[in-house]
């Protein structure tokens, strides 16, 4: 059915005949309203945005704790600077995990 509609649309695009244009318009599926989303898609979008927002907030809280404690520790012992960078990277990983979960939800890989 889709192939027939595509062929009719192709014929109508090259032919000025009004009958072909009307036939192609009748065979085409009706367009969806702009912005119309069904319920499962809306729930998936909401879940993905919630995953990104929650993981970003959690990463910000973790990074604040790591940074404040890390700078205080590195002021006393400068050799702890490497550990500060490692712990900051782990805290930022929380946000990346949230983004990955959101992508899994949006592409319905699970």
CATH number for the domain spanning 75: value is 1.20.20.10
* 41 and 2 belong to one structural domain: no
* 24 and 42 belong to one structural domain: no
Split into its structural domains, the chain has a count of 2
pLDDT digits (tens, 9 = 90+) for 21-71: 555 556 666 666 667 788 888 899 999 999 999 999 999 999 999 999 988
- Tally of CB atoms within 10 A around 110: 6
pLDDT digits (tens, 9 = 90+) for 69-87: 988 898 899 898 888 899 9
What's the rounded Cα separation, in Å, for the pair 50 and 58?
12
Query: Which distant-in-sequence residues (6+ apart) come within 8 Å of 76 by Cβ?
Result: none
| Domain membership of residue 27 as a residue range | 1-31
Structure token digits, residue 20: 């072909």
* 7 and 45 belong to one structural domain: no
* 20 and 59 belong to one structural domain: no
Would residue 30 be called left, alpha or beta, if left means φ above 0 and alpha means ψ between -120 and 50 degrees?
Answer: beta
* 61 and 42 belong to one structural domain: yes
* 49 and 100 belong to one structural domain: yes
What's the rounded Cα separation, in Å, for the pair 56 and 91?
10
* 6 and 59 belong to one structural domain: no
CA-based radius of gyration for the chain: 27
* 71 and 90 belong to one structural domain: yes
Distances (CA, A) of 30 to 8, 36, 96, 109: 15, 13, 40, 29
pTM exceeds 0.75, yes or no: no
């Amino acid at each position: 059915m889709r192939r027939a509609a595509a062929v009719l649309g192709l014929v109508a695009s090259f032919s000025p005949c009004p009958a072909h244009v009307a036939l192609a318009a009748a065979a085409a599926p009706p367009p969806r309203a702009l912005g119309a989303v069904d319920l499962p898609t809306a729930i998936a979008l909401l879940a993905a945005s919630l995953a990104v927002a929650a993981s970003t907030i959690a990463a910000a809280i973790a990074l604040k704790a790591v940074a404040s404690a890390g700078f205080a520790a590195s002021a006393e012992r400068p050799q702890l600077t490497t550990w500060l960078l490692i712990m900051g990277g782990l805290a930022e990983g929380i946000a990346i995990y949230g983004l990955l979960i959101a992508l899994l939800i949006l592409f319905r890989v699970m």
